[in-house]
Structure 1
Amino acid sequence: MAIMWRLSLSYLRKNKTQNGFSTLLILLSTLLVATAVIILANTGNLFKEMHDRAHGSHQILSFEKDLNDPQAVYDWWQEQEHVDVSPLLQYRTLSGITFDGLDIPNLYLYMIDTPAPPWDVDKLIFASGLQPTLPEQGSVWIPTSMANSYHIAIGDTISFRAGSTNLNLTVSDIVVDVPYGAPFTNTARVWMNPTDYQQDVQALAGNDNYMFGIHFDDYSTNSRYWEKYNLEHDVPFLETKMEFESISSFYLIINQIIGFIMIFLGVVMLVIALVTIGFTISDAILANYKTIGILKSLGLTSHKMIGTYVIQYAILSLVAILPGLMLSVWISKPLMSISVSSLRAGGDDIPMQGIGAALLVSAFLFALVLLFVMLYANKARHIEPVQAIRYGMSEADHIRIAQRMNTPFFRAIGFSRYPVSVVIGFRNLMKNIRSSALILLLTMMASAVLVLGYVVVTSVSGIYQTAANWGYDNANIAAVVVNKSHFSLDKLEQVLEQDNRIQNVGWQGNTSGVIRPDTSINTQSQSTSLFLSVLDGSYDQLGFENLRGSNPRLENQISIGVNIAKTYHKDLGDLIDIYIEGQKRTFVITGVYQAIANMSVSGRITMDAMHSVNSSYKDVDVVFINVNDPVQVEPIVHALNEQFKDSTSVVTQKTLLDSVYAEAADILVYPMTLIGLLFILVTFIIIFSTCRISIRKESRTYGIYKSIGLTSSQIRLSIAMGIVILSSIGALLGIVIGIYVLPVLLELVLSGYGIVELPLILNWAGILLFACLTILAAAYGSWVSSRVIRHSSPRNLVIE
């Protein structure tokens, strides 16, 4: 045992740099895998904890169309058992704020007449830590999502656009408002003092709207209550209903994406780390072949020889894994705090879960490292002392390398045919096939990771370029109706018809539809409520796209979201029965599309289809406008905003989407940058280690090169050139994988949110730039590792 310890410590002291890099490699693998486990373990838990704490709603009913009596509906739900409801909230809608000198037009606000507590559902969690009864007069409470997006703090004054005037109110508190506080949203509930609401908001033109939240003891039973409601009322519920899936989806999607990417890439890095450790041991055995042979000839057994490597890497693994585990906890907090900041009240610390799972993963990693060490160190068992002393390797390996280097192909790569630098670089790669294969694999994966991160971030930040592929329109301008009671459809239509700069217009409303399951097939399934887009105009002209098929044009046609198609096994040409305002309509499916909004639980129908149900339907939520000349977009937006500022908010498509997805892109930058930097660092470490080993094995050859007149710089440049060529091949393969293979993994995550084909924006200049970072890391790693050639004399190199 004493001999094993001495040999292990000797190896640790002798190869300090290489052992240091191996330790760092294990640390980084632990860091990435443990961080991914913690993030995945916490995904959903933070939302669930806050939803339970607030006794959050599962459905939100909004009354803006005067199709149902809000008080009657509210009273009915209050009477139901195993159901809790929030207060009936009275509100008006406003659009746009001015804060800190910045005009923010694309922010849609529900100005709430705050009721007095207590509330049974959707209790507000206050950032200040206090529990005020009502906002003080002249002040408001705003949600964390709004405060975080625009960096608003308690005590700041916000100017709200209220028709032709501005309403200045001070932020007295910031609240976690679960139903309307998700990140990446441009809607928010602003809680006002009742006196301010009556004096400043009710005085505006228009009527009050109402909403309330419903919390079910068992959410899966909600369809039974709705069936009961429809049986007991002559008029079905025709207003807007927001489902729990829509409430929770944007809280969870970013952590799902980050966690999934990190766990996959962590596993990839772990595999690379283990293979690298195996190669390091294998090449270390080869480099010390004679020494091991001499030790075995002196009586050291194979078990003890293997044990020296196990002890060495057990020490290195412990030194690496424990800090890696602690760093993973430290790094996980900021990553999660960025993506779930809207669920944090004030300085509340994030409750960490998954530490136990991370400990188990770390223990498994430690065991896996030792297992690989024993597998690769087992080669020492087969070392024959005589062959080791004679060849410096096994006789079979010596013959195999000699045969490989003497094939006609290798003989053709001679000093007489090609420049010396080319031959040296090429022979270095081909004589160390396993190391070259590892470098190729590593640079390929590192390039793929960097390219994937860059493409994902640019695709989300530039979503306006691929809006139609995310389920949105592709019109130049959107005029969103924020005050329906004061909105004049006829007046806006007249203005648009008289403007010769406008090419075409589409008027879009929405309604709810219900798909009832076929009880003869499945008696356990429940009804599905889906969001129906109703368009008076051409879906094609406004840029709405489908994955398959076409948009509806006739009264009996519909295009459905992918999740509806998947749930009910529907495809093009199939018939689907949908209940609209209580009336059954049968549609022919002409298209299937994907949409992140409403998680693709939606459909598109024509205005004629809606009129077949309700001939007086004129509800319009947004007007899409295309112009003849894109230069005229901003002037038209400005003119329409001035003319219809009391009822609509007119913005460009880019402004509309940026207000929602710019924050998502910013959040993705941090974890993607961390992963990219780790892979660049790993690329450098592994290439440094493998090159250092191969240089040590070829020390005699390089000594001969120096003795015949080659300089250290020439030899080092030749080695680096070979590595650059090999890593360039790996980077090119990585580009293909990063663009065409890895996004498929993201689609597995996003499919549940309504996106089955990830719309990518390919900026080839940026892609090539990020792929080149891998090549630079590889080149630098090989160059640094070859410094030993510069500091050694030809005589010493030959002696070694």
Structure 2
Amino acid sequence: MAVMFKLSLSYLSKNKVQNLFITLLILLSTLLVCTSIIILANTGNQFNEMHSRTNGSHQILTFDKGLNDPQTVHDWWAAQNGVQISTLLAYQTLSGITFDGTDIPNIYLYMMNTPPPPWDVDKLVFAAGKESSSPAQGSVWIPTSLANSHNIIVGDTIQFKTGSTTLDLAVSAVVVDVPYGAPFTNTARIWMNSTDYQHDFSTLAGKEHYMMGIHFDDYSMSSSYWNRYKNEAGAPLLETKMEFESISSFYLIINQIVGFIMIFLGAVMMMIALITIGFTISDAILANYKTIGILKSLGLTSRATIGTYVIQYSLLSIIAVLPGFALSMLVSKFIINISVSSLRTGTSDLPVEGVGAAILVGLLLFILVIVFVIFYAKKARMIEPVQAIRYGMSEDENVAMAKRMNSPLANVASFGRLPISFVIGLRSLIRNSKNSVLIILLTSIAASVLVFGYVVLTSITGIDQTAAKWGYDNANIAAVVVNKTTFPRAELQNVLEEDPRIQNVGWQGNITGVIPSDVSSRNPASQSISLYLGVLDGSYEDFGFETLRGNNPERENEISIGVSAAKMLNKDLGDLIDIYIEGEKRTFIISGIYQAISNMSVSGRITVQAVRSVNPRYSDIDVAFINVINPSQAGAVAAQLNEQFKYSASIVTQKTLLDSVYTEAANILIYPMALIGLLFIIVTFMIIFSTCRISIRKENKTYGIYKSVGMTSGSIRSSITLGVILLSLIGAMFGVIAGVYLLPLLLEKVLSGYGIVQIPLVLNWWGIILFSCLSILAAAFGSWRSSKVIRQASPRILVIE
């Protein structure tokens, strides 16, 4: 045992730099894998904890269509056992908000009449400001999502547009409002003082609406309640019903994306680490072949020889795994805090779970290292002392190397036909075939990760280029209505018709379509489904709405539905579907199926004629889509129209609307993606440095001969680096293909649950090439630095060795 331990310490002290890099590699593998485990373990934990703490709603009923009496529905639910409900919450809607002199686009506001406590459902948690029973007069409570995304703090004043006037209200508190406080949302509940609410909205045109929250003791039983409601009321609920899945979706999406990607890439890095350790041991055995042979001839057993490597890498693993785990706690906490910042209260961090699972993963990594060490170190059993002393390797390996060096490829690489620098680099690659394969594999993986991260971020920041593929329109300008009752549609219509820069205009509203439970052939016992229906007065094709299959509706009896709705209802193109619209049943034929991240694709598109067959006076408008003849003028046209109609509509370019939502997502994703990319660059450098260092040591005599015949250290080092660059170039080419076409399939697995089954990618090939070259640079730098030993040694010493 003492001999084994001394030999292990000897190997550790002899190859300090190489062992340092192996330790760092194990550390980074532990960091990435444990971080991903903790993130996945906390994917729903933070939301579920806050939802439980606030006794959050599982469903939100919004009575905005006038099709059901709010009080009657509220009374029915109040009489049910096993559920808790909120009071009827009165509200009025606004769409215009200004902060610090700047309009905030794409924000839909529910101006709430704050009820007195106690609240049985959806209790508000104060994140900032003084806790009180209701906002003071002249002040409001705003959700954390709105405050965080626009840097609004307690004491700031916000202007709410109500038409020709504004409401100037101070922020007295920032609250966690679970149903309407998710990140990336464009909807917010603003909690007003009851006296302010009555006074400010009494003089405004517009109808007061109500909403209520329902909390089930057992959410899985919700369908039985709704079936009972349908039977007793004689019809399903015709108003808007928001499900728990929609409430939770945007709280979870970022962590799911990051965690899913990191667990895969962490597993890849772990595999690279284990393979690298195996290659290192194999090369170490080969480099010390004569020494091991002599020791075995002196009586050292094969088991003791293997034990020296086990002890060596056990010490390195212990040194690496513990700090790797500790760093993973810090990194995962940072990512979790920024991804669910809207659930944070005050300056305290959110509690982190999954530590036990991360410890088990760290232990598993340690065990895997030892298993791989034993597996590769078994080669030492086959060492024959005589062959080791004569060849410095086994006789079979000596014959195999001679065959490689005399192969047709090696013969092509002759001094008479190719430049010397190229020949030296190529023969080094042929001689060390395992290292060459590792370099290609490593640079391929590193390039794929870097390219994938770049493609994901550019696809989100450039979402305006693929908006239609995400389920949005592709119009140049959108005029978002501030107050529907005062919106001068006719006046805006006249202005747009007289403007020669305008190409066409479409008017879109929305209604809630209700699909009764017996429509779904897949699950007849399921509850009725509330389907968000976009209603367009105009052509869907003119404004760029796309479908995955089929076409958008053109006739009164046609509908296109989202992929999630099609899956839930087991429907396909050409099928018929019955939908209640404003209380009347209509039958549609499915003309198209599309994907949309909004409403998780539980939605549909119909024509305005379809609604007017039920309600001939329908003219509800949420937004006007405007196309200009020259897209470069969109910004100027939007600015002019916004100035003219600033009291009744928010008129901005489509890019402005999309950026208001997705810039925040990109800002959050950039940190974990940058971390992953940096780790893989570091790993690429470390492994190639280590493998090249081993190869150079084995070729000391050859390089000594090169220097003795007049070659400089720089030319030899350049030759070695050139060979690595050629291999890295091949690896980077494979990496680009994987990063652009294969790894995005991972992201589709996550986003399919949010209504996106085909990820719309923005491919900037110059940027893709640039990021793929980072892996080549890391490999080249690692090779160049490892060859520094050639410069430091004299030809005489090298030849003697």
Pairwise TM-score range, normalised by the shorter structure: over 0.9
The 1:619–1:164 alpha-carbon spacing in structure 2 relative to 1, beyond 3 Å, is: closer
Cα 1:574/1:534, change in 2 over 3 Å:
same
> What's 1:304 paired with?
304
Task: Give the match for residue 590 of structure 2.
Answer: 589
* 2:188 alignment partner in structure 1: 188
Check whether the contact 2:521–2:570 (CA below 8 A) recurs between aligned residues: no
Q: Which residue of 2 aligns with 1:271?
A: 271
* 1:153 aligned partner: 153
Cα displacement string for residues 724-783 of structure 1 (whole angstroms, at most 9, x for unaligned residues): 111011111101110000001110111111101100000111111111111110000000
Partners of 1:238 and 1:511 within 8 A in 2: no
Contact 2:92 2:208 in 1 (8 A): yes
Q: Is this contact kept in 2: 1:577–1:587, CA < 8 A?
A: yes
Moved more, 564-573 or 111-120: 564-573
- The worse-fitting range, judged by mean Cα deviation, of 291-300 and 209-218 is 209-218
Answer yes or no: is the 8 Å Cα contact 1:202–1:208 preserved in 2: no
Cross-structure match for 1:454: 454
Residue in 1 that maps onto 2:50: 50
Residue 234 of structure 1, CA deviation? 6.5
User: Which SS does the other structure have where 1:505 is aligned?
Assistant: strand
The farther-off stretch of 178-187 and 211-220 is 211-220
- The DSSP-based 3-state class of the residue aligned with 1:484 is coil
Return the alpha-carbon distance in structure 1 between the equivalents of residues 547 and 800 of structure 2: 71
Q: Does 1:261 align with 2:261?
A: yes
Q: Map Cα deviations across residues 586-609 of structure 1 (whole Å, 9 max, x no partner).
A: 322221111101111111112222
User: Which range is displaced more, 111-120 or 608-617?
Assistant: 608-617
Secondary structure, aligned partner of 2:107: strand
The offset of 1:69, in angstroms, is: 3.1
Q: Bigger shift: 6-15 or 559-568?
A: 559-568
Cα distance between partner residues in 2 of 1:514 and 1:104 = 33
Question: Cα offset for 1:510?
Answer: 1.8
What is aligned with 1:434?
Answer: 434
Q: What corresponds to 2:774 in structure 1?
A: 773
Change (3 A) 1:619 1:229: farther
2:732 partner SS? helix
1:660 aligns with 2:666: no
Q: Once structures 1 and 2 are overlaid, which stretch shifts more, 451-460 or 103-112?
A: 103-112
Q: Deviations over 1:500-533 (max 9, x none)?
A: 3322222222222233346887554443332222
**Can you list the C-alpha shifts for 1:373-414, whole angstroms capped at 9, x where unaligned?**
000000000000000000000000000000111123311211
Shift of 1:481: 2.4
- Residues 472-621 of structure 1 aligned to structure 2 (within 5 Å): 472-515=472-515, 516-517=517-518, 522-621=523-622
Q: What is the Cα deviation at residue 624 of structure 1?
A: 1.4
Using the TM superposition, give the Cα deviation of residue 584 of structure 1 relative to its aligned residue in structure 2, in angstroms: 3.4
- Alpha-carbon distance between aligned partners in 1 of 2:647 and 2:199, rounded to the nearest angstrom: 17
Residue pair 1:486, 1:646 contacting (<8 A) in 2 also = no
> Which residue does the alignment assign to 1:109?
109
Deviation at 1:635, TM superposition (A): 4.0
What is aligned with 1:179?
A: 179
Separation (CA, whole Å) in 2 of partners of 1:621 and 1:546: 22
1:670-749 to 2 correspondences below 5 Å: 670-749=671-750
SS of corresponding position for 2:141: strand
How does 1:339-378 map onto structure 2 within 5 Å? Answer: 339-378=339-378
Using a 3 Å threshold, how does the CA distance of structure 1 residues 237 and 569 change in structure 2: closer, same or farther?
closer
2:218 is the counterpart of 1:218? yes
Match of 2:352, as an amino acid? M
- 8 Å contact from structure 1 (residues 692, 786) kept in 2: yes
The CA deviation string for residues 465-502 of structure 1, in whole angstroms up to 9 with x for no partner, is: 10000000101122222322323444443443343332
Query: Is contact 2:451-2:739 (8 Å) kept?
Result: yes
How far, CA to CA, are the matches of 2:367 and 2:309 in structure 1? Answer: 14
- Alpha carbons 2:163, 2:483 under 8 Å: kept: no
Distance in 2 separating the partners of 1:525 and 1:212: 22
Could you tell me how far apart the structure 2 residues matched to 1:466 and 1:41 are? Answer: 32
| Cα displacement (A) at 1:249 | 0.7
Structure 2 vs 1, CA of residues 205 and 141 (structure 1 numbering), >3 Å: closer, same or farther? same
Give, as a single letter, the amino acid of the residue that structure 2 aligns with 1:622: V
> For the residues of structure 1 that align with 2:291 and 2:12, how far apart are their CA atoms?
16
Deviates most, 26-35 or 185-194: 185-194
In 1, distance between residues paired with 2:155 and 2:452? 42
Contact between 1:429 and 1:722, CA under 8 Å: does it hold in 2? yes
Cα distance between partner residues in 1 of 2:154 and 2:129: 12
Distance 1:518 1:208 in 2: 33
What code does the residue aligned with 1:668 have? Answer: L
8 Å CA contact 2:106–2:480 kept in 1: the answer is: no
The alignment partner of 1:513 has SS state of strand
Q: In 2, Cα distance between the equivalents of 1:289 and 1:331?
A: 42
Contact 1:140–1:190, Cα closer than 8 Å, also in 2: yes
Equivalent residue number for residue 625 of structure 1: 626
* Contact 2:19–2:316, Cα closer than 8 Å, also in 1: yes
Q: Contact conserved, 1:106 with 1:651, CA < 8 A, in 2?
A: no
Amino acid at match of 2:9: L
Correspondence 1:648 to 2:684: no
The residue type equivalent to 2:738 in the other structure is I
- Structure 1: unaligned runs, 5 residues or longer: none
- Shift of the 250–218 alpha-carbon distance from structure 1 to 2, 3 Å rule, reads same
2:16 is aligned with 1:16: yes
Q: Distance in 1 between matches of 2:491 and 2:638?
A: 16
- On the 8 A contact 2:721/2:780 being kept in 1, the answer is yes
1:635/1:586 CA distance change after superposition, 3 Å: same
**Any idea what SS the aligned residue of 1:168 has?**
strand
- CA deviation profile, 1:297-346 (whole Å, cap 9, x unmatched): 00000000000000000000000001101110111111000100001111
Q: Is the 8 A contact 2:503 2:629 kept in 1?
A: yes
Normalising to structure 2: TM-score of the pair? 0.97
Q: Is the 8 A contact 2:63 2:70 kept in 1?
A: yes
In structure 1, how many angstroms separate the alpha carbons of the residues matched to 2:75 and 2:521? 35
Q: Distance in 2 between matches of 1:339 and 1:651?
A: 28
- Given that 1:236 and 1:582 are in contact with CA atoms closer than 8 Å, whether structure 2 keeps it comes out as no
Structure 1 residues 214-223 or 27-36, which shifts more?
A: 214-223
Work out whether 1:284 is the aligned partner of 2:284. Answer: yes
The amino acid that maps onto 1:386 is V
Counterpart mapping for 1:319-334 below 5 A: 319-334=319-334
Equivalent-residue separation in structure 1 for 2:255 and 2:161 (angstroms): 34
Task: Compare 736-745 and 589-598 and name the one that shifted more.
Answer: 589-598
Kept in 2, the 8 Å contact 1:468–1:474? The answer is yes
Structure 2 counterpart SS, 1:511: strand
CA distance in 2, matches of 1:497, 1:194: 43
Deviates more, 1:379-388 or 1:403-412: 403-412
Q: Check 1:60–1:525 CA distance in 2 against 1; reply closer, same or farther (3 A cut).
A: closer
| 8 Å Cα contact 2:238-2:513 kept in structure 1 | no
SS at match of 1:586: strand
Residue 174 of structure 1 aligns to a residue in which SS? strand
* 1:246–1:452 distance in 2 versus 1, CA, 3 Å: same
Measured in 2, the distance between the counterparts of 1:519 and 1:99 equals 46
Name whichever of 186-195 and 451-460 sits farther off: 186-195
- Paired position in structure 2 for 1:416: 416
CA–CA distance in structure 1, aligned partners of residues 86 and 339 of structure 2:
27
Does structure 1 conserve the Cα–Cα contact (< 8 Å) formed by 2:130 and 2:173? no
The answer to whether the 8 A contact 1:236-1:581 is kept is: no
Deviation >6 Å, runs of 4+: none
Q: CA deviation at 1:417?
A: 1.0
The 2-side partners of 1:798 and 1:274 are apart by 35
In the alignment, residue 600 of structure 2 is paired with which amino acid?
M
Amino acid paired to 2:557: N
Amino acid at match of 1:650: I
Supply the distance in 1 between the matched residues of 2:524 and 2:443 (Cα, whole angstroms): 54
